Amino acid sequence: MRKKFYVTSLASKKQLIQASQELAKKGIKSRAVLRINSERMGVIKLLAKSKKRVIITIPQSAPKQQIEKLRRVIEAIKKETKNTMIKLVPLSENNYYNAFWERDVFTRMGKRILNKSRATDLKTNSQKEKRFFGDGGRIINAGKVNGKEVLLVASSPQHASKRKLGVQKNLVNEEIEMLTKRGYLVFELPGFNYKRLGRTQGSKATNRFFEHIDVFINTIPQKKVMLVDPDYYAKHSGRITKIAQTIGFKLIKVPVEERYFYPSNFLNIGNGEIIMDKKATRTAKLLEKAGVKVYTTPSTLEGNNLMFGGVRCFVNTD
């Protein structure tokens, strides 16, 4: 059966304005965050052209005019791409297919779904488990080695107060132990510093430690390729090199000048094909030389990057 691509809720106007206001309180004046929906629609169109099943969600509380406008846009995309497998589904905030960051709330692991939210109105035949590693930014599938599925997992706890830090560490250890007991070959990697203003301020931009590893490292299992952020590699080169050698992957480093586009947060759409930020042109060429088919986004993902995410973060698969 064809894999379904669940795209995060296109935000309501209210959500985008609130996000812009929150950034302004932090001294970040940028209208890029208001373009989040248009950036995501560009990716939806690429998925439609690739004949993927696309489910687009939006809060039921969004203005009716916005929902109707989106329906018209989606009908136009279906007609242009000759792909009828695209749906717009208004959902309640309790449904994990309606998260702002789709990857944050559930992870499919074979016949199981690990989820972090209530998902009260989600109908599925799969076994659901409330798990900390429902947060998909913490797990990267790296194919199989000797019949075992390989996972790269984030070993760092979430950004938390000292009081909660111990609890977070215990949760991470429990999840890693759970995956190992279920037969996965697990490699642990720490989080790293994310620069949300790196595109405009470069290395002078302030850091925030980010426990999600999928903005710094990712894999294309079908081509046995691993892509890694150059600063992340410099900090953890021994560990990353050993992992790549153990699983037989070619290691490619993002060119330094493209690191703040966070191209490692690409979306793997199968058969050695990925979708990646259009700004990372040199990275795309390196991957293409390794046999990867790279589709670049119609527009750069600056708005999404400002909110700590990219294409892999706002698209999940089920």
For the chain, give the secondary structure using H, E and C.
CCCEEEECCCCCHHHHHHHHHHHHHCCCCCCHHHHHHHHHHHHHHHHHHCCCEEEEEEECCCCHHHHHHHHHHHHHHHHHHCCCCEEEEEECCCCHHHCCCHHHCEEEECCEEEECCCCCCCCCCCEEEECHHHCHHHEEEEEEECCEEEEEEECCCCCCCHHHHHHHHHHHHHHHHHHHHCCCEEEEECCEEECCCHHHHHHHCCCEEECCHHHCEEEEHHHCEEEECHHHHHHHHHHHHHHHHHHCCEEEECCHHHHHHCCCCCEEEECCEEEECCCCHHHHHHHHHCCCEEEECCCCCHHHHHCCCCHHHHEEEC
Residue 306 pLDDT > 50: yes
Average pLDDT over residues 288-308: 96
Tell how far CA 240 is from the center of its chain.
Answer: 20
pLDDT number for residue 168:
78
Counting Cα atoms < 13 Å in the Cβ hemisphere of 253 gives 13
* pLDDT tens digits, one per residue of 136-145: 899 999 999 9
Average pLDDT over residues 28-52: 92
pLDDT number for residue 127:
64
Indicate the range of 93-107, 176-190, 220-234 predicted with least confidence: 93-107
With cut-offs at 50, 70 and 90, classify the pLDDT of residue 3.
Answer: low
Mean of per-residue pLDDT scores for the chain = 89
pLDDT number for residue 95:
75
Tell how far CA 35 is from the center of its chain.
Answer: 18
With cut-offs at 50, 70 and 90, classify the pLDDT of residue 121.
Answer: very low
* pLDDT tens digits, one per residue of 63-81: 899 999 999 999 999 999 9
pLDDT number for residue 163:
66
With cut-offs at 50, 70 and 90, classify the pLDDT of residue 259.
Answer: very high
Q: Name, of 157-166, 172-181, 255-264, the range with top average pLDDT.
A: 255-264
pLDDT number for residue 248:
97
Q: Where are the domains of the chain?
A: 4-317
Give the Å distances, CA to CA, from 239 to 189, 215, 247, 266.
8, 17, 13, 22
pLDDT number for residue 162:
60
Residue 249 pLDDT > 80: yes
Higher pLDDT, 195 or 12: 195
Average pLDDT over residues 73-97: 89
Residue 189 pLDDT > 90: yes
With cut-offs at 50, 70 and 90, classify the pLDDT of residue 160.
Answer: low
For 52, residues 6+ apart whose C-beta sits below 8 A from its C-beta are 2, 3, 4, 5, 83, 85, 269
Indicate the range of 8-22, 169-183, 250-264, 279-293 predicted with least confidence: 8-22
Average pLDDT over residues 200-208: 92
Q: What are phi and psi of 118, to 5 degrees?
A: -70, -40
d(CA 222, CA 67): 38
Query: 4-317 belongs to which CATH class?
Result: alpha beta
153-176 residues labelled b (16+ CB within 10 A) or e (exposed): bbbbbbeeeeeeeeebeeebeebb
Residue 6 pLDDT > 70: no
Residue 159 pLDDT > 70: no
